[in-house]
Structure 1
Amino acid sequence: MFTGIVEERGEVVAVRPQSDSTVLSLRGAVVTADARHGDSVAVNGVCLTVVAVEGDVFTADVMAETLRRSTLGALAPGAPVNLERAATLGTRLGGHLVQGHVDAVGTVAARRPAAHWTEIDVAVPLGLGRYLVEKGSLTVDGVSLTVAAVAGDVCTVSLIPTTLALTTLGARQAGDAVNIEVDIIAKYVEKLVGERA
C-alpha cells in the first residue's frame, strides 16, 4: 500500500527484456536507503518487488500483465521515474490509499501552465470515467492528485510547484502516456451497490 506522495524522482539504469517479462534496474538513493529483498516500491505508480539492492540501485521483475497495463514497457535507460516506498502503519497518509495496481494507461490531453502551478487534463480509457468524481482522488504515474473537474472520461488536476519540481509530471506534455489508478474505494462501493441492485 502507498500514499501517492512521491519520495524521489529516480532513474532507470538498465532494462533487460526476457521472453515473457522484463528486469528493471532503477536508481534511487532514498528508496534504497533501507530497501531489502521482498520490499515493495512504486515505480511510476506500479508496485514492484525488490529482488536485489546494490548501492543506490535496486532491481525488480516486471511481469507481462504489468507491461500490458502500464507504461513500464516503454521505459529506457536514463528515463526519470517516480519512486515511493510502501507505507508503514506509522506513515502519515498525505495522499490517499494507493495500491500500486495500475488500472490502465491514460493520456495527458492538455496542459495549461500558470505563473506558479499547472493544470493538466487527463483522459482515462473508456470505462474508468465512472470512477472520476470532482474533489475525489486519482493516481497519475504514482502521484496522488485531487480531481478538480470531470467531463466524461477526461478530468482536470492541478499540479502545485512541489509536484512540478519533484515528479515526472512536471515534464509531461499533451499526448504523453501515463499510468492511471482510480480510487479503490470507488470500485468497492460500485461492486457492493451493484450486487444490491
Structure 2
Amino acid sequence: MFTGLIEEVGRLRRIESRGEALLLTVSARKVLEGVKLGDSIAVNGVCLTVVAYDGAGFSADVMPETYRHTNLKGLKPGEHVNLERAMLAGGRFGGHIVQGHVDGTATIVSRTPEANAVVFRLRPDRQHLLRLVVPQGSITLDGISLTVVSVDRTAGTLAVSIIPHTLAETALAHKQAGDTVNVENDILGKYIDHLLHERQGRSSQETAASGLTEAKLREFGF
C-alpha cells in the first residue's frame, strides 16, 4: 500500500521492450534506502516489484496487463517519473489509501495558473472512470494523492489544483496539455460501486427466478 506522497522524482535510465512486456531501469537514490529484491516501488503510481538494483537505481518488470492500462508504455529514456516506496506499518499516513493498481489513464486538457496554484483539467481516456470521481474527494494521478476540485460530467473532465510544493517536487512539473497521467480512483468508492452492482445483479436474478415480472407487479397494483 502507498500514500500518494511522492518521495523522489527519478529518471528512466533504460527501457527494454519485449512486445507488451517491459523492463524498466530507473535512476534513483532515496527510494533505494534499505531496498531489497522483491520490494514494491510505485513508478508513476504503478506498483512494481524490484528485480534488480545497484547504487544508482533499480529495475522492475512491467507485465502486459500493466502495459495496456498505464502510461508506462509511452515512457522514453530520460523522462522524469514519480517514485514512492510501499508504506511502513508505523509510518505517517499523510495522503490517502493508494494501492498502486491503476484504473486507466487521463489526458491533460489544460494547465492554468490560479494565484499560487496551477489547475490541471483532465479527460479520462475511459469515461466510466468519472463515475467514481467525487468533488473534494481523493484521486491519484501518476502516483500523487490529490483532491478533486470539480467534475464536469457533460464535458467528461475533472480538475485538480496543484500547490507549488507538489508541482516542484513531482514529475507533474514537466507535464503539459496533451500528456497523459495514470489514474487510480479512490479505493472506497471502487468497493462501494462494486458491491452495489453485485447486489443489484443478484436482486435482478432472484426476481427473475421467482417469476416476478414488471407486468405482474402492475397487475397487483404496484
> TM bucket by the smaller chain?
over 0.9
Match of 1:195 in 2: 198
Q: Distance in 1 between matches of 2:120 and 2:59?
A: 32
User: Which residue pairs with 1:181 in the alignment?
Assistant: 184
Q: Distance in 1 between matches of 2:149 and 2:52?
A: 40
Q: Where does 1:147-186 land on structure 2 (aligned, <5 Å)? A: 147-152=148-153, 153-186=156-189
Counting only pairs closer than 5 Å after superposition, residues 21-170 of structure 1 correspond to structure 2 as: 21-124=21-124, 125-152=126-153, 153-170=156-173
| DSSP-derived class of the 2:127 partner | coil
Shift of 1:160: 0.5
1:179 counterpart SS class: strand
Q: Deviations over 1:20-75 (max 9, x none)?
A: 41111001100012111000000000000000110021010111111111110111
Task: Please say if residues 22 and 62 of structure 1, whose CA atoms lie closer than 8 Å, have aligned partners that are also in contact.
Answer: yes
In the alignment, the residues of structure 2 paired with residue 56 and residue 122 of structure 1 have an alpha-carbon distance, to the nearest angstrom, of 34
The change in CA–CA distance for 1:119 and 1:20 in structure 2 (over 3 A counts) is closer
Aligned AA for 1:127?
H
Give the direction of change, closer, same or farther, for the CA distance of 1:188–1:9 in structure 2 (3 Å limit): same
Q: Say which SS state the counterpart of residue 135 (structure 2) adopts.
A: coil
Bigger fraction of residues in helix: 2
Taking structure 2 as the reference length, what is the TM-score of the superposition? 0.86
Tell me if the contact between 1:113 and 1:119 (Cα under 8 Å) persists in the aligned partners. yes
- Equivalent pairs counted in the alignment come to 197
Look up the equivalent residue of 1:108 and give its one-letter code: I
Give the secondary-structure state (helix, strand or coil) at the position aligned to 1:129. Answer: helix
Rounded to whole Å, the distance in 1 between the matches of 2:24 and 2:113 is: 33
Q: Distance in 1 between matches of 2:195 and 2:77?
A: 43
State the distance in 2 between where 1:82 and 1:117 align: 20
For residues 189 and 16 of structure 1, the distance between their equivalents in structure 2, rounded to whole angstroms, comes to: 38
Greater CA deviation, 107-116 or 57-66? Answer: 107-116
Runs of 4+ in structure 1 deviating by more than 3 angstroms, as ranges, are none
Cα root mean square deviation, aligned: 1.1
Give the gaps of 5 or more residues in structure 1.
Answer: none
1:160-193 Cα shifts (integer Å, max 9, x gaps): 0111101111221111111111111101111222
Does the 8 Å contact 1:9/1:166 carry over to 2? yes
2:20 touches 2:67 (CA, 8 Å); kept in 1?
Answer: no
Partner of 1:14: 14
Structure 1 residue 19: Cα displacement? 3.9
Q: 3-state DSSP class of the match of 1:31?
A: helix
Question: Match of 2:215?
Answer: none
